[in-house]
């Protein structure tokens, strides 16, 4: 049905148009009326008709002014002007606004219908194009997020040539040409939610940070459970620093409005080559590891351990050590919330921030290794199902030989524990996707079903759900939903006598024209042809 709204100040004329035309019988839905433009405008904004029929001369707000606002705010609405005035100036203004039809009063119901019918095909085509663009946008949004994530991994891995990186970025509409680069890594979580849980405020914050990055000429990348990365580019190191500081100030201003959100930012070092971006990333990663050592929010730089000045056991003084950094609760915190990719950064920050020379002492290396061993063993023992501590490598003399051997030992047992944790979590992810699929099956007829709505239902962040849904099903959410709807439509076409318009609404498409278009695009034929000719083409459109 094409929706029609009427704006006419003469009551008799308005009633005549409304009641003397068989709107439904001619494929139209009369959805509202108003006596002037001022009263009509809020109703038009709310109802979003396909056609607005309006008089020119009305009190408070005339038809031309109403038309100007409609064309600016709701350009998809077709406007038909009725006027008893035949002066050329009115018609000229209407044409300049973009009015579809300029008709003079009086006009019969049949004549008005003929004029509206001339707009029908244009409206249907326009609605199909808008719906198709929205479908494409949703599909591309998910694909784009994944491709951007893959690009960022390539940028910081150091495994791709500069030419390859520039080509990948260009395909995503990004220009990575600059003289200087830096990376900020940002991790945000609600104090009231676990890391992967759905939080409307976190989603809002994430969107606002993306806007800030875009406004400042930077590029934002989603890193799923590891947070977000922002690539800063500039003509000089000073320019990079200025942009970085401005961005941090703006992000902190946004986050200040959400008292229950805790955040940690890791600031990398500026580099003058794209091929050295991995150095900036490593520094930012080490700095971000501070989230496992601190309780407050803030942005940090990495603490680098040089290991140049040696300390003997005789001169070793525990009072020189920052005890907050060696609290095994910090290890447990990382085991619960950290990821495999973060292990090198966590260990590097841990070693670098405890004290520049502490790890040169054999006694201290032994103390730290044993402390981490007990923390890891306790963590693994509590995992469901319970694990034995002998799954974790015990401390040996070789593992205490020097700073690097201790770092390697700590990294190794933490990795074993996290892999054990993730193997259990993978079952949880399967349960989440199963629940998401069940929700889709029960709510596919809801035209407004979205990734955010689904994420809220299964209590997982939209970005995280998108990732695990694709991994488990092999399809993006949008593609899966579309194919499910089309399969249901095929079932209804073959097994019922429902009209195409009824099937369209039953599978989540209010517009039967768009449903028919999507069906042909997905299945390769129209609903009529699929059914076998039991329904006429005219009923589809």
Residue 517 lies in a domain: yes
State the Cα–Cα distance between residues 18 and 9, nearest whole angstrom: 13
How many CB atoms within 10 Å of residue 490?
18
pLDDT at position 503 over 80: yes
Tokens describing residue 151: 């690009």
Select the more confidently predicted residue: 466 or 278: 278
- Can you give the pLDDT at residue 15? 85
pLDDT at position 85 over 60: yes
What pLDDT, in 10s, does the model give residues 242-260?
999 999 999 999 888 877 7
| Same-domain check for residues 407 and 518 | no
Residue 476: pLDDT band (50, 70, 90) is confident
CA distances from 457 to 132, 315, 344, 451 (A): 26, 59, 35, 10
Question: With pLDDT > 90 as the criterion, what percentage of the chain qualifies?
Answer: 23
pLDDT at position 196 over 70: no
pLDDT at position 38 over 60: yes
Select the more confidently predicted residue: 115 or 142: 115
| Same-domain check for residues 114 and 188 | no
The mean per-residue pLDDT over the stretch 170-187 comes to: 91
What CATH number does the domain containing 250 carry?
Answer: 3.30.70.270
Domain of 85?
2-130
In the DSSP assignment, the letter for residue 271 is B
| Same-domain check for residues 221 and 290 | yes
pLDDT at position 312 over 60: no
What pLDDT, in 10s, does the model give residues 504-536?
999 998 878 778 888 888 888 888 888 875 444
| Maximum pairwise Cα distance, the chain | 107
- Can you give the pLDDT at residue 90? 66
State the Cα–Cα distance between residues 407 and 440, nearest whole angstrom: 46
Number of domains in the chain: 4
Q: Which residue has the tokens 């949008």?
A: 478
State the Cα–Cα distance between residues 57 and 60, nearest whole angstrom: 10
pLDDT at position 310 over 70: no
Residue 37 lies in a domain: yes
pLDDT at position 289 over 80: yes
What is the residue-averaged pLDDT of the chain? Answer: 82
Q: End of a domain among 440, 455, 485?
A: 440
| Nearest of 433, 264, 401 to residue 342 by alpha carbon | 264
Residue 65 lies in a domain: yes
| Same-domain check for residues 196 and 275 | yes
Measured over the CA atoms of residue 432, residue 435, residue 439 and residue 440, the dihedral's sign is positive
The mean per-residue pLDDT over the stretch 449-477 comes to: 85
Residue 167 lies in a domain: no
| Same-domain check for residues 427 and 506 | no
Residues 6+ apart with CB under 8 A from 381: 387, 388, 389
How many CB atoms within 10 Å of residue 476?
21
| Same-domain check for residues 279 and 317 | no
| Complete DSSP assignment for 117-185 | HHHHHHHHHHHHHHHHHHHHHHHHHHHHHHHHHHHHHHHHHS-S-HHHHHHHHHHTT-----SEEEEEE
How many CB atoms within 10 Å of residue 421?
17
Residues 6+ apart with CB under 8 A from 211: none
Residue 220 lies in a domain: yes
For helices 403-443 and 462-473, angle between their N-to-C axes, nearest 10 degrees? 80
pLDDT at position 463 over 50: yes
| Same-domain check for residues 231 and 254 | yes
Residue 227 lies in a domain: yes
- Can you give the pLDDT at residue 243? 94
| Same-domain check for residues 273 and 210 | yes
Residue 172 lies in a domain: no
- Can you give the pLDDT at residue 390? 52
| Same-domain check for residues 489 and 502 | yes
Select the more confidently predicted residue: 305 or 129: 129
What CATH number does the domain containing 101 carry?
Answer: 3.40.50.2300
What CATH number does the domain containing 484 carry?
Answer: 1.10.10.60
Residue 162 lies in a domain: no
| Same-domain check for residues 269 and 206 | yes
Residue 136: pLDDT band (50, 70, 90) is low
- Can you give the pLDDT at residue 233? 94
Q: End of a domain among 130, 162, 189?
A: 130
Print burial letters for 7-22: b (CB count within 10 Å at least 16), e (below 16).
bbbeeebbeebeeebe
Judged by DSSP in three states, 206 sits in helix
pLDDT at position 308 over 50: no
Sequence-ordered alpha helix ranges (H) in 382-461: 403-443, 451-458
What pLDDT, in 10s, does the model give residues 331-352?
888 888 888 888 988 888 888 7
Strands 219-222 and 228-234: antiparallel
| Same-domain check for residues 309 and 381 | yes
| Same-domain check for residues 263 and 370 | no
Q: End of a domain among 271, 301, 331?
A: 301
Select the more confidently predicted residue: 225 or 501: 501
């Amino acid at each position: 049905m094409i929706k029609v709204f009427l704006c006419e100040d003469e009551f008799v004329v308005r009633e005549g148009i409304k009641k003397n035309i068989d709107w439904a019988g001619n494929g139209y839905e009369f959805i509202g009326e108003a006596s002037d433009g001022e009263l009509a405008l809020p109703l038009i904004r709310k109802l979003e008709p396909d056609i607005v029929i309006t008089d020119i001369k009305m009190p408070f707000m005339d038809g031309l002014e109403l038309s100007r606002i409609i064309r600016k705010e709701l350009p998809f609405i077709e406007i038909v002007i009725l006027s008893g005035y035949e002066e050329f100036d009115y018609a000229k203004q209407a044409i300049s606004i973009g009015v579809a039809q300029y008709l003079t009063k009086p006009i019969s119901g049949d004549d008005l219908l003929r004029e509206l019918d001339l707009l029908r095909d244009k409206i249907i085509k326009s609605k199909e194009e808008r719906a198709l663009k929205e479908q494409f946008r949703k599909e591309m949004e998910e694909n784009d997020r994944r491709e951007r994530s893959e690009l960022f991994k390539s940028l910081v891995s150091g495994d791709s040539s500069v030419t390859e990186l520039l080509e990948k970025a260009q395909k995503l509409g990004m220009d990575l040409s600059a003289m200087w680069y830096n990376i900020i890594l940002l991790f945000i979580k609600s104090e009231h939610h676990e890391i992967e849980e759905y939080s409307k405020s976190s989603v809002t914050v994430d969107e606002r940070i993306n806007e800030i990055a875009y406004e400042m000429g930077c590029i934002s990348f989603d890193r799923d459970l590891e947070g977000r990365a922002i690539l800063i580019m500039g003509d000089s190191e000073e320019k990079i620093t200025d942009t970085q500081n401005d961005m941090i100030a703006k992000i902190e201003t946004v986050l200040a409005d959400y008292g229950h959100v805790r955040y940690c930012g890791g600031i990398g070092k500026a580099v003058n080559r794209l091929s050295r971006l991995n150095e900036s990333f490593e520094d930012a990663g080490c700095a971000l590891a501070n989230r496992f050592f601190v309780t407050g929010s803030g942005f940090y730089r990495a603490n680098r351990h040089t290991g140049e000045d040696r300390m003997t056991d005789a001169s070793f003084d525990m009072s020189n050590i920052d005890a907050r950094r060696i609290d095994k609760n910090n290890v447990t915190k990382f085991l619960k919330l950290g990821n495999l990719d973060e292990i090198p950064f966590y260990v590097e920050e841990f070693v670098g921030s405890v004290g520049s020379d502490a790890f040169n002492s054999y006694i201290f290396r032994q103390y730290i290794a044993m402390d981490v061993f007990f923390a890891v063993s306790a963590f693994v023992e509590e995992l469901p199902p319970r694990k034995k501590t002998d799954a974790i490598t015990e401390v040996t003399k070789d593992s205490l030989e020097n700073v690097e051997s201790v770092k390697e030992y700590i990294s190794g047992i933490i990795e074993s524990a996290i892999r054990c944790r993730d193997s259990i979590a993978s079952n949880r992810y399967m349960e989440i996707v199963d629940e998401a699929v069940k929700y889709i099956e029960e709510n596919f007829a809801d035209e407004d079903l979205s990734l955010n709505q689904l994420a809220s239902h299964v209590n997982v962040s939209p970005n995280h759900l998108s990732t695990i849904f694709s991994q488990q099903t092999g399809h993006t959410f949008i593609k899966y939903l579309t194919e499910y709807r089309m399969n249901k439509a095929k079932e209804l076409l073959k097994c019922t006598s429902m009209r195409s318009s009824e099937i369209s609404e039953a599978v989540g498409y209010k517009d039967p024209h768009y449903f028919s278009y999507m069906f042909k695009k997905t299945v390769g034929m129209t609903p009529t042809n699929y059914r076998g000719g039991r329904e006429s083409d005219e009923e589809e459109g």
